[in-house]
Structure 1
Amino acid sequence: MNQKYKGILYIVLSAFSFAFMNAFVRLAGDLPSIQKSFFRNLVALIFAAIVLKRSKIGFSYKKENLKPLILRSIFGTLGILCNFYAIDKLVLADASMLNKMSPFFAILFSYLLLKEKIDWVQAISVAGAFVGSLFIIKPSFHNVELIPALAGFAGGMAAGAAYTFVRILGQKGEKGPFIVFFFSSFSCVATLPFLIFQYHAMSLTQVIYLLLAGLAAAGGQFAITAAYCYAPAKEISIYDYSQIIFSAILGFFLFGQIPDFYSGLGYVIICGMAIFMFLYNTGKLKIGVNK
């Protein structure tokens, strides 16, 4: 198996893992999103600590990377909280698709933070994805799911900002496992006060579901890291959208959920923009653009 196919295999495995993470979060029932986030990040923290210990990378970091590490963690934590809230209130596939707005927001934040130019092909993709998100959000004062949908959209935005800071840290030589460890530690510390004062008692079943969500999340994080080690993002990132298929299947069989027509149209538009960018980035779509 060549490197590219290994990358595809790992990114599909990551999408599969994150789809199950979303399902387990939903199955955990009526618990605050902050409490669910704590247990999800606690498992990831333990996994990252084990990887750092075994790989002998260590728990130190470059002092100049502290600010981007903190900003990555803040946006990442906000992204998870918003995503978990959306998962609890929306059709599973809708919540997953809104979270997949993150690559498009990463383009915008790369322009704002890294001063990377946005060409007109990227601009069309971002605008098209935004239009697609509106079909899922269905902005209306009569839409009872408007707030959860906006939260899911905000989660995708925060995730896009977090991924931009991950890229900044990568450029500065920070190791991936430590970034995961720092983020997971930050999220646990940030949400711990809520657990102390507003802890909701959980059944054994809920605890198991949250631990499974954490395991699935850890598997997804390490799988996507491996994927991008084997192949560049422009060649394999499109396969990450397979999570929508997995989420739709899990949502149907576990919760009897069927996305409505407008959500389906939004999926088509957003995935279409992702395919458009994929073909452009890999050179399979020849367009005269001054980069």
Structure 2
Amino acid sequence: MWTPNVNTFFQIFLKNFKTRKTDDFSATRNSLCVTIEAVRKFTTKRRKTSVLSKKSKAIGFIIMSAFGFAMMAAFIRLAGDLPFTQKTFFRNLVAVAVAAVVLCREKVGFKWEKGNLPLLIIRATCGTLGIFCNYYAIDHLVLADANILNKMSPFFAIIFSLILLKERASVFQYAAVLAAFGSSMLIIKPGFSSATFPAIIGLLGGMGAGAAYTCVRALSRKGEKSARIVFFFSMFSTLVCVPFMITDYHPMTWGQFFCLIGAGASAALGQFGVTLAYANAPAKEISVFDYTQVIFSAVLGFFLFGQLPDGWSVLGYLLICGISVAVFFYNRNLERKGQ
């Protein structure tokens, strides 16, 4: 948060004092009052601008995250028929390396902040279970079904934020998230097959992701570095996959190997994006922008798999973009009004 320095204060003071025609004590007192009021207005304006800028960055990060995860899904699909634990291993192995490089470059230690270990473990556990469930659902459900179930994560993030962080959302924000969810259904048009167990697993994957995002925000509030959160989660998830790799490893072609490396790099981009996003703003204000992943997936599907969107899908794209813009201006107006 920005605070005025001594030079700023006295510059405003001298400017107001020199405009007075008298130099008695009354003039000095009046000039001082005017100066204090001017500094107060100036700092208030800077504070609001700073908050708005932070929220705008969070929106940019969540969109970057959506693109990264859309790329990850495309690479996972291109990798073919491999165990979901093997895909998870390579997904997070690359993220471990990227996070380690970032930590070293920023000269941030690998040791977590005091008292944050329980939250880091919860975040890593929820995130790992979320990935397992999502990949299992992708392997056993129609892809559209698995995607829509995973897109329940913003709902769970808002619910967990309300319970754990006491972050309340307005009626408009709840309605925007619901509208975005409904719009995404126009695009992916789930069939909801009778495979009940995989569907429940997919829903649990969305819950795990929502809980993980809430933990990210809680950790950021407690001063934990974003790169350290990503590193801890990625390392935890990679180590969990090692026993499965030993007992159920499937040989890969070079093409599959590079697809999984690409999935890992894209996942690292997505993970850093979502970590930075929820560190800069609460879930209720940015989670709706996560639905841009559907748009990115549609574009990638067209270029990589020759999938053409129909009229309902195009309508869904337009609705999601419109909702995102509406939420952005709604939040900006709230900040300008000082609410």
TM-score by length of 2: 0.68
Match of 1:288 in 2: none
1:191 aligns with 2:237: no
The 5 Å alignment of 1:1-291 reads: 11-88=62-139, 89-91=141-143, 95-125=146-176, 136-141=189-194, 150-224=200-274, 238-257=288-307, 277-283=327-333
State how far apart, in whole Å, the 2-side matches of 1:178 and 1:66 are. 11
Percent of residue pairs bearing the same amino acid type? 56
Structure 1, unmatched stretches of 5+, are 285-290
* Greater Cα offset, 19-28 or 75-84: 75-84
- CA drift of 1:63 comes to 3.8
CA contact (8 A) 1:76 1:183 kept: yes
Q: Deviations over 1:1-43 (max 9, x none)?
A: xx68776665544332221111001111101111100110000
Provide the secondary structure at the position in 2 that maps to 1:196. Answer: helix
The 1:111/1:226 distance shift into structure 2, 3 A limit, reads closer
Taking structure 1 as the reference length, the TM-score comes to 0.78
Size of the aligned set, in residue pairs, is 282
Deviations 1:243-284 (A, max 9, x none): 211211222333344678888888788777666654543338
Task: Pick the structure with greater CA Rg.
Answer: 2
- The letter of the residue matching 2:302 is F
Deviates more, 1:105-114 or 1:126-135: 126-135
Provide the rounded CA distance (Å) in 2 between the counterparts of 1:56 and 1:25.
Answer: 33
Greater relative contact order: 1 or 2 (C-alpha under 8 angstroms, separation 6 or more)?
A: 1
Please list the CA deviations of residues 113-138 of structure 1 after superposition, one character each: whole Å capped at 9, or x if unmatched. 22333544445456556667877544
Stretches of structure 2 lacking an aligned partner (at least 5 in a row): 1-52
SS of match in other structure, 2:251: coil
1-side partners of 2:200 and 2:317: how far apart? 16
Instruction: Provide Cα deviations, 1:93-152, integer angstroms capped at 9, x if missing partner.
Output: x655543432221110112222333544445456556667877544453xx6x6655544
- Give the aligned residue type for 1:43: V
